[in-house]
Amino acid sequence: MKEDLHLHTCFSTDSNAIMSESVEVAIERGLGRIAFTEHWDADYPERYREDLRQAAGDDWEKYHPDFDARPLFTFDIEAYFKELEKMRRIYGDRITILSGIELGLRPQRPDLVKLYREAVDKYRFDVVLGSVHLVNDEEPYYPEAWFKYGADRLIEEYFKNMLDCVKEYDFFTSLAHMDYVVRYVPEELIDCTLEEYFKGVCAKNEKIIDEILKIIIKRGQALEINTKGAFTRLKHVHPSDEIMERYRLLGGTRLTYGSDAHYSKLVGDGIYGV
């Protein structure tokens, strides 16, 4: 059975997908199970609000009428579950629809550990993705962070942050897009192709990566195969082949699969290729 366990809708700050439309695309593509894993990056830096607004397009307010009233990358969990149950009533005889959340992990933040754990315990999400989106409170989606740190150092800091996070957050079910940060490195900061640089990331950070993998393997947490990278300038799923090989050698067997679709038309992209 093919599944896509990493989907976003307009409950996520950076998505304009409609849940019903995403379900229908999933059914059309023959998926047997999906999970709507909305972003929750508590205390995401407010300084990026205007950047997000400008990148969103003219119709953003149609999908996010509360954009200015709500903290970035949070969502109304009660309203989310109400819509999810509606989808289950309508489509439940054709596809399994799981609840989910994508937690934005931050190191040395016991307040976030407590907040996230309480939410996970209260709502009993079927899928809890653990993701590192920020590097020392810098957003690597934007080039400023890369020029501040330099490519190699920013990626090293990213993996160090991730190691601290997997030690502190023991309640996520799958570690999402483990090396996705590489897709945003500015070409002018590297002296090879992006594909070559991507392959070299594992070797440069092997010790840290191995520690991360050993922790999630010991706990029984899964590693996500995220297909979105294959449709970016990177042209490769996350994580890299090198990281996947390390995962296998260390005894890892648990995998989840997700397209990380933020638009309904992209649901299931790449799933049949992995």
In order of 44, 129, 178, 201, 216, the CA distances from 248 in angstroms are: 34, 20, 15, 18, 13
- Joined tokens for residue 262: 């933020």
Q: Note the pLDDT of residue 222.
A: 98
Q: Tokens 């520690």 — which residue? A: 211
Q: Work out whether the CA dihedral 91, 95, 97, 102 comes out positive or negative.
A: negative
Specify whether domain 3-273 bears CATH 3.20.20.140: yes
Q: Tokens 């920013």 — which residue? A: 154
At residue 166's C-alpha, the angle toward residues 133 and 72, to 5°, is 30
Domain boundaries, the chain: 3-273
Q: What is the pTM of this model?
A: 0.96
Q: What is the mean pLDDT of residues 167-172?
A: 98
How does the average pLDDT of the chain come out, rounded? 94
Model pLDDT for residues 222-245, shown as the tens digit of each residue: 999 999 999 998 889 999 999 999
